[in-house]
C-alpha cells in the first residue's frame, strides 16, 4: 500500500529513501483508501470462517478485495494451536477467543 509509513525521519538520507519508496509504491500498490478495502470487505461481507481476503491485482499489490486461497501450512489448525499455546506461555496471557 502506498502510504507515508516509510517517512521516519527528516534526515537527508532517510528522506531520499522515503521518496524512492513512495515513488515505487505510488505506481505499483493501492493507495491508502484502496488499501483499506480488504479490511472493510471482511467486516461488511459474509465470508467463511478462516478465509483470507487479499487483493486481486498482479502480485497482490493493486486491485480490489477478493477471497484468496491459503497454503496447506496456513490451514494447519494443530500448528496454530501450538503457536497460540506457546504465545500464551511466553507472555503469561490467555487468548480466550482461542479456547472456545
pLDDT of the residue at 92: 94
pTM: 0.56
**Sole residue written with cell 497454503:** 71
How far apart, in whole angstroms, are the C-alpha atoms of residue 5 and residue 31?
Answer: 12
Percent of the chain past pLDDT 70, that is, above it, reads: 89
Tens of pLDDT, residues 59-76: 888 889 999 888 888 889
- Residues near 73 by Cβ (< 8 Å), separated by ≥ 6? 79
Which three cell numbers mark 95?
Answer: 487468548
Amino acid at each position: 500500500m502506498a502510504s507515508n509509513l516509510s517517512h521516519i525521519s527528516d534526515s537527508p538520507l532517510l528522506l531520499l529513501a522515503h521518496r524512492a519508496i513512495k515513488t515505487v509504491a505510488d505506481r505499483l500498490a493501492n493507495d491508502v483508501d484502496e488499501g483499506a478495502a480488504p479490511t472493510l470487505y471482511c467486516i461488511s461481507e459474509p465470508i467463511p470462517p478462516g478465509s483470507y481476503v487479499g487483493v486481486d491485482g498482479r502480485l497482490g499489490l493493486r486491485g480490489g478485495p477478493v477471497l484468496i486461497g491459503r497454503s496447506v501450512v496456513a490451514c494447519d489448525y494443530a500448528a496454530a494451536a501450538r503457536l497460540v499455546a506457546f504465545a500464551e506461555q511466553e507472555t503469561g496471557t490467555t487468548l480466550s477467543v482461542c479456547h472456545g
